[in-house]
Amino acid sequence: MQRDQRPVVDAVFTEEQSRQILQYGLLFIIVIVAVKLLAAALVGLSVVAIPALIYAYQTVPSNVSFDVKKELKRVLRGVHLPEDHPEKPKTWLEQTVARVQASVATEVATGLGYDLTFINLLGCATLAFVRVPSARVDCYWLGVFGKWQYITTRPIQDKQKAN
């Protein structure tokens, strides 16, 4: 009985093929390490984020608690401006004048009408959007952790005013 005698061929890679195999191997190891680091970071982040989201969900302020006039007065008298802002009233007289001006402006602006829109953000926060056409401003507040935080005021553009 004769066996099929095949010649043994050594599997030899060229230098270029060896380099490519080494590169793919290193790339595979880098990807595995990056995935493990990302997974560890996400677990660490979730330890903080999940309780914060649960707390935000439980303490989101109700839409009824948002007082448009009170919040507009605060914005118009400059409560949210930084201390070094040139328009922030500093002396007692400036603060008193700012309060009176803000009260009058708010009463006039809200008396002529305003649009109030609430946007629920996954039940964890509420975005309040107030458009005051007579004052030509849009104001934004974020209701989270039991209180309303002022975000920004933007002037109404002419094309938006027509809407």
- In tens digits, the chain (163 residues) has pLDDT values of 566 666 655 667 788 888 899 999 999 999 999 999 999 888 888 888 888 888 888 999 998 998 888 888 888 777 777 777 777 777 888 878 878 887 887 787 778 888 889 999 988 899 999 888 877 888 899 999 989 999 988 888 876 544 5
Backbone angles phi, psi at 88, to 5 degrees: -75, 125
pLDDT at residue number 68: 86
Measure the CA–CA gap between 139 and 133, rounded to whole angstroms: 11
Map out the domains of the chain as residue ranges. Answer: 13-59, 60-161
Give the Å distances, CA to CA, from 43 to 29, 30, 39, 40, 48: 21, 20, 6, 5, 9
Query: What residues does 155 pair with on adjacent strands?
Result: 137
pLDDT at residue number 148: 92
Whole-model pTM? Answer: 0.63
pLDDT at residue number 118: 93
Amino acid at the residue 45: L
Q: How far apart are the first and last CA of the chain?
A: 96
